Amino acid sequence: MLIKHPKPAYRKWLKKGALVLFVVEGACFAGSYCLWYKANTQRDFRKYLRDNFPFLLEYYYKTGEILNSQNNIRHVDQAYWEQE
Protein backbone atom coordinates (compact mmCIF):
# COMPACT_ATOMS: atom_id res chain seq x y z
CA MET A 1 0.00 0.00 0.00
CA LEU A 2 1.25 3.49 -0.88
CA ILE A 3 1.78 5.92 1.92
CA LYS A 4 0.74 9.51 1.21
CA HIS A 5 2.79 12.25 2.78
CA PRO A 6 1.14 15.67 3.09
CA LYS A 7 2.86 18.55 1.37
CA PRO A 8 4.43 21.12 3.69
CA ALA A 9 2.31 24.22 4.38
CA TYR A 10 5.09 26.59 3.33
CA ARG A 11 4.79 25.37 -0.28
CA LYS A 12 1.23 26.65 -0.46
CA TRP A 13 2.25 30.05 0.91
CA LEU A 14 5.26 30.17 -1.39
CA LYS A 15 3.14 29.52 -4.49
CA LYS A 16 0.54 32.12 -3.50
CA GLY A 17 3.26 34.64 -2.67
CA ALA A 18 4.94 34.11 -6.03
CA LEU A 19 1.63 34.50 -7.83
CA VAL A 20 0.85 37.74 -5.98
CA LEU A 21 4.36 39.02 -6.71
CA PHE A 22 4.00 38.35 -10.45
CA VAL A 23 0.58 39.99 -10.59
CA VAL A 24 1.79 43.09 -8.72
CA GLU A 25 4.90 43.30 -10.89
CA GLY A 26 2.79 43.03 -14.04
CA ALA A 27 0.41 45.75 -12.82
CA CYS A 28 3.33 48.05 -11.96
CA PHE A 29 4.89 47.48 -15.37
CA ALA A 30 1.60 48.20 -17.14
CA GLY A 31 1.06 51.36 -15.08
CA SER A 32 4.56 52.66 -15.70
CA TYR A 33 4.25 51.95 -19.42
CA CYS A 34 0.95 53.87 -19.55
CA LEU A 35 2.54 56.87 -17.81
CA TRP A 36 5.57 56.75 -20.12
CA TYR A 37 3.35 56.54 -23.21
CA LYS A 38 1.26 59.48 -22.05
CA ALA A 39 4.37 61.55 -21.27
CA ASN A 40 5.91 60.58 -24.59
CA THR A 41 2.90 61.62 -26.67
CA GLN A 42 1.31 64.56 -24.84
CA ARG A 43 3.11 67.83 -24.20
CA ASP A 44 0.32 69.00 -21.86
CA PHE A 45 0.92 65.99 -19.62
CA ARG A 46 4.65 66.82 -19.55
CA LYS A 47 3.70 70.36 -18.49
CA TYR A 48 1.52 68.89 -15.72
CA LEU A 49 4.49 66.79 -14.62
CA ARG A 50 6.76 69.85 -14.70
CA ASP A 51 4.37 71.82 -12.50
CA ASN A 52 3.53 69.05 -10.02
CA PHE A 53 6.22 66.34 -10.21
CA PRO A 54 9.43 67.88 -11.61
CA PHE A 55 11.58 64.95 -10.45
CA LEU A 56 9.53 62.54 -12.60
CA LEU A 57 9.87 64.78 -15.64
CA GLU A 58 13.62 65.07 -15.07
CA TYR A 59 13.85 61.27 -14.87
CA TYR A 60 11.86 61.01 -18.11
CA TYR A 61 14.18 63.44 -19.90
CA LYS A 62 17.36 61.77 -18.59
CA THR A 63 16.14 58.31 -19.61
CA GLY A 64 15.42 59.58 -23.11
CA GLU A 65 18.84 61.22 -23.36
CA ILE A 66 20.61 58.07 -22.17
CA LEU A 67 18.78 55.88 -24.68
CA ASN A 68 19.16 58.34 -27.57
CA SER A 69 21.81 61.05 -27.48
CA GLN A 70 19.98 62.88 -30.29
CA ASN A 71 16.88 63.30 -28.09
CA ASN A 72 15.99 67.00 -27.78
CA ILE A 73 12.49 66.83 -26.32
CA ARG A 74 13.62 68.81 -23.27
CA HIS A 75 14.74 71.76 -25.38
CA VAL A 76 11.65 71.69 -27.59
CA ASP A 77 9.38 71.67 -24.54
CA GLN A 78 11.25 74.51 -22.86
CA ALA A 79 11.07 76.64 -26.00
CA TYR A 80 7.36 75.91 -26.40
CA TRP A 81 6.56 76.73 -22.76
CA GLU A 82 8.59 79.97 -22.90
CA GLN A 83 6.49 81.11 -25.89
CA GLU A 84 3.20 80.51 -24.01
Same domain, 54 and 64: yes
* Residue 2 falls inside a structural domain: no
65 class by beta-carbon count within 10 Å (0-12 exposed, 13-18 middle, 19+ buried): middle
**Cβ-contact 60, 36 below 8 angstroms:** yes
pLDDT-based confidence at 69, cuts 50/70/90? confident
Q: Whole domain around residue 65: which residue ranges?
A: 42-84
Q: What is the DSSP letter of 69?
A: T
Q: Residue 71, Cβ neighbours under 10 Å: how many?
A: 15
- The pLDDT tens digits for 31-66 are 999 999 999 999 999 999 999 999 999 999 999 999
Rounded to two decimals, the pTM is 0.75
Same domain, 23 and 58: no
